[in-house]
Structures are given as structure tokens and as C-alpha cells.
Structure 1
Amino acid sequence: MSDFDQMGIVVDWVDACRKGDLATLLDLYADDAQIECTCNGTQRYRGRDELEVYWGPRLSAFSSAGFGLEEIHPVPDGVDLEYSVAGALRIHASFRFSAEGKIDSTLCAPARQNAHHGCAC
């Protein structure tokens, strides 16, 4: 059992995405955190610089299109989240955490396979 609030960290992540706040979002991640996105082929990003390259344009799209929290729940080794972009495109994200209470890894994938929608995660 961790001594930090994993659900609270993911809620803070959602808030940073809604606000388009890149600095706050990056601060939630460990220095060597990894994102694996399987929305349009598999892409991996590691470390703050690569996460900034990944998140910068996406946050801009989220703030203009709209970002919604659909589902959030704890899982045995982290938190799973489903969010929507523009009220329709749903993305599933799985978060795992470091012992220091930072996001260590995120895996995102389309929550619903729909060939004409693509992915904004």
C-alpha cells in the first residue's frame, strides 16, 4: 500500500490536461517516466524532454476540443482512467507510480476501436 494518493495524482493530471497546463502535468511525472501510446501505432517517450514533446501539442488540442473525465478507478498496481476528447473520442490510460509518488508510466490506447476517429492521446 502506498503512502500517497494515487487517485488524487490522476485527478491532478486530469485538471492539468483540462487547463492545458504543461508545467504542472510534467511535474506529476517522475524524471525518467515513460509514456507508451498505442493509438496510432506504438510510440514511446521517456524522460521529461520527450514527455514535453509528446504532451505539448496534445494539451493544446485538449483545451480547444474539450477534455472530459469518463471513468476513474484504482487497479492493483495503479489507476485506470478513461477520458474523452471533444465529447466523443474516448481514451483509456493506465497509470503506474514510483515509490516517491510520481507517475512512473502511462499506457494509453483507444477505449473504443473506431477506424474513422484516430486518436488524440
Structure 2
Amino acid sequence: MAEDFDQIALVVDWLDACRNRDLAALLDLHADNATLECRCGGVKVSEGRGELESYWRPRLDALAPTAFGLEEITPTAEGVVLDYLSHEGKPVRIVFTFSRDAKIQRTTCAPSGQALRQEVAGVAD
């Protein structure tokens, strides 16, 4: 896996892009074929830049004052687990995996109280 770059720094860049409502910067952090699985209010899977843009645009347009606040960030064997406050200010856990070229390959998110698959998260709830 991609071990020659700082995965935590990339996740912090992701948070900064979200806080700054910088959709272009956010999308640039992802691989071209990146996928996002959102389990916050039902399961939604988005793949590729166009679908990620459609997912993130309305969320970045309506941020709560506490949006994208960092709760905890944890490196795992598979990537990084981030606990943060969503665009609505609600606690969310998101799991990042990365491509070999230092891009976000996959994200899976769910409300913090909802367990993500252990094989994905690598961190116990």
C-alpha cells in the first residue's frame, strides 16, 4: 500500500478543503475512480469525480458552524480513520483508503454510533 506519503496529512488536507468549501481542492485529493460509501441516513455509493462532486456540492454549500471539526484521527494498517463533525455538525466516522499515487481511493462513512465493518475500519468502536 502507499506508505511513502503522509496519509494523516492528506486527511487533514481533506478536512481543510471541506472547511474552506473548496470543492475543487477536495476533488483533487481523490483518485479519478475514487468511491464514497455514505451510510449516514441510508446507504449511498458514489464513484468518480462527477458523482463525488454531486455528493459534496450541497453539503459544502450548507455548513453548520461546527462543521468538519476534528474529533480524532487514527492511522490503521489499511489507511486512516477520522472521527469528525459532519456538514450538519453531527459526529461521523469516516474510513479512508489510499491509492499508490497518494490519492484518496475510497471513503466509507457512518454516524459515529454506527459500527463500520471491522475489516474496513481496523479500529474498534
* TM-score, with structure 1 as normaliser: 0.86
* TM-score, with structure 2 as normaliser: 0.84
Task: Decide which structure has greater strand share.
Answer: 1
Match of 1:18 in 2: 19
The answer to whether the aligner puts 1:8 opposite 2:6 as a matched pair is no
Amino acid at match of 1:97: F
Counterpart Cα distance in 1 of 2:33 and 2:87: 30
- Mapping 1:1-121, distance limit 5 Å: 2-62=3-63, 64-67=64-67, 68-85=69-86, 89-112=90-113
Counterpart Cα distance in 1 of 2:88 and 2:28: 27
Amino acid at match of 2:66: G
Shift of 1:41: 1.1
Counterpart Cα distance in 2 of 1:27 and 1:88: 24
For the aligned residues, what is the CA RMSD?
Answer: 1.6
> Between the two proteins, what is the percent identity of the paired residues?
51
Do the aligned partners of 1:65 and 1:85 also contact (CA within 8 Å) in 2? no
Q: Kindly tell me the number of residue pairs found equivalent between the two proteins.
A: 112
Counterpart Cα distance in 2 of 1:66 and 1:20: 13
| Unaligned runs of at least 5 residues, structure 2 | 115-125
